[in-house]
């Protein structure tokens, strides 16, 4: 009985002790994820932009969430207010309800103007997918 309690305590402590490390690796840290903007993709072209008009702030990471269907995202580019940009290669199908990994934004001035997304259109015509951009401050 005592042996079982020690083993369970060790496993519980190991699991709880690893939680902050896993959260930092996913880019969540102590910041707060904020919705930057939404775009309904209709697959009439191979790219769309999400303008960031609300939540103007300094962000350190970004991720995309997909709703209403699947979409193959090739890449996305984050355009900052200072004219700089940062590109992220994805080349992956994001399924309905899925999210990209959090991508770290470089530099100190990371106020976002817009996000351009390049995606595949083959086999997706006649459908719509909603993409949300989220920023971690």
Q: How confident is the model at residue 29 (pLDDT cuts 50, 70, 90)?
A: low
Stretch 89-94: mean pLDDT: 94
- Cα(6)–Cα(36) distance, integer angstroms: 47
Q: Considering just the CA atoms, what is the radius of gyration of the chain in Å?
A: 19
Stretch 88-116: mean pLDDT: 92
Using a 10 angstrom Cβ sphere, with 0-12 exposed, 13-18 middle and 19 or more buried, the burial of residue 70 is: middle
Q: How many domains does the chain have?
A: 2
- Is 47 found in the same domain as 7? no
Residue 57, number of CB atoms within 10 A of its CB? 13
| pLDDT at 15 > cutoff 50 | no
Mean model confidence pLDDT for the chain: 80
Among the listed ranges 9-13, 61-65, 115-119, which one has the minimum average pLDDT value?
9-13
Which CATH number does the domain housing residue 81 bear?
A: 2.60.120.1380
pLDDT at 57 (0 to 100): 83
pLDDT at 45 (0 to 100): 84
Dump pLDDT digits (tens) for 107-135.
876 899 999 999 987 776 668 899 999 99
- Is 114 found in the same domain as 62? yes
- Is 22 found in the same domain as 68? no
């Amino acid at each position: 009985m005592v042996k079982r309690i020690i083993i369970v305590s060790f496993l519980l402590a190991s699991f709880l002790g690893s939680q902050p490390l896993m959260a930092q690796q996913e880019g969540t840290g102590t910041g707060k994820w904020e919705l930057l903007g939404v775009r309904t993709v209709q697959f009439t072209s191979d790219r769309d932009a999400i303008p960031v008009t609300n939540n103007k702030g300094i962000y350190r990471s970004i991720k995309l969430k997909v709703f209403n269907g699947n979409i193959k995202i090739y890449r996305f580019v984050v355009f900052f207010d200072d004219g700089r940009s940062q590109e992220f290669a994805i080349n992956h199908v994001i399924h309905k309800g899925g999210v990209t990994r959090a991508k770290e934004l470089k530099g100190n001035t990371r106020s976002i103007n817009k996000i351009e997304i390049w995606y595949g259109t083959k086999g997706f015509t006649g459908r719509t997918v909603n993409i949300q951009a989220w920023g971690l401050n």
